[in-house]
């Protein structure tokens, strides 16, 4: 009687096929999980930035007039976030670079931040913590921001 050692070729191919099927089915699941995690990161960073911009505007260290922006939240083309406050040389302006940067961060590069289908580049807040467009024409007045990565979407309310 002859004892066999090891696995037959058929057994090895079956195990490899099952392993391939299992790995192939987890890739889409992992991709969706990463997109959801990136959306959560974006939501958290943007919420933090909005809160900081509102708090800075309410503090109003430069005694800015009630209709003018006391703080601005700027979003760059590379998904960088920064909060600017008014300083002695002028009002915060995302386009002009005036104002003092008090905080910066970034969100995942594949994240789209829009409002009503338009990209967002700026949110300006007056000393009452309300959105304003005075001297900040590129700023949006929309209170609902749409965050998306591929098919994953989430809405962030500014106030």
User: pTM for the complete prediction?
Assistant: 0.81
* Whole-number average pLDDT of the chain: 88
Question: How open is the CA angle 104-59-75, to the nearest 5 degrees?
Answer: 25
Strand order of the β-sheet with 131-132 is 100-106, 80-85, 71-75, 122-125, 131-132
Structure-model confidence comparison of residues 97 and 79, the more confident one: 79
What pLDDT is attached to residue 2?
67
Distances (CA, A) of 13 to 20, 21, 111, 141: 10, 12, 41, 61
**High-pLDDT (> 90) share of the chain, %:** 43
SS3 for 159?
coil
* 142 Cβ contact list (under 8 Å, min separation 6): 115, 116, 120, 158
**Separation of alpha carbons 15 and 19, rounded Å:** 6
SS3 for 153?
strand
Closest CA to 52 of 125, 109, 118: 125
* 33 Cβ contact list (under 8 Å, min separation 6): none
Structure-model confidence comparison of residues 139 and 75, the more confident one: 75
What pLDDT is attached to residue 1?
62
pLDDT band at 126 (very low <50, low <70, confident <90, very high): very high
Kindly list the structural domains of the chain, giving each domain's residue range(s) and its CATH number in brackets, ordered by start: 29-157 (3.55.40)
């Amino acid at each position: 009687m002859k004892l066999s050692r090891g696995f037959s070729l058929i057994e090895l191919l079956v195990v490899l096929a099952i392993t391939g099927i299992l790995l192939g089915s987890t890739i889409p699941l992992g991709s969706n999980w990463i997109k959801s995690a990136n959306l959560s990161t974006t939501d958290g960073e943007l919420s933090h930035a909005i809160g900081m911009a509102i708090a800075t505007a309410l503090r109003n260290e430069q005694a800015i007039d009630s209709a003018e922006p006391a703080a601005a939240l700027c979003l760059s083309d590379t998904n960088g976030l920064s909060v600017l406050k008014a300083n002695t040389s002028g009002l915060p302006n995302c386009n002009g670079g005036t104002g003092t940067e008090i905080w910066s961060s970034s969100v995942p590069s594949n994240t789209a931040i829009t409002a009503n289908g338009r990209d967002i580049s700026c949110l300006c807040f007056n000393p009452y913590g309300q959105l304003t467009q005075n001297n900040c024409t590129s700023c949006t007045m929309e209170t609902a921001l749409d965050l998306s990565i591929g098919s994953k979407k989430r809405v962030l309310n500014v106030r």
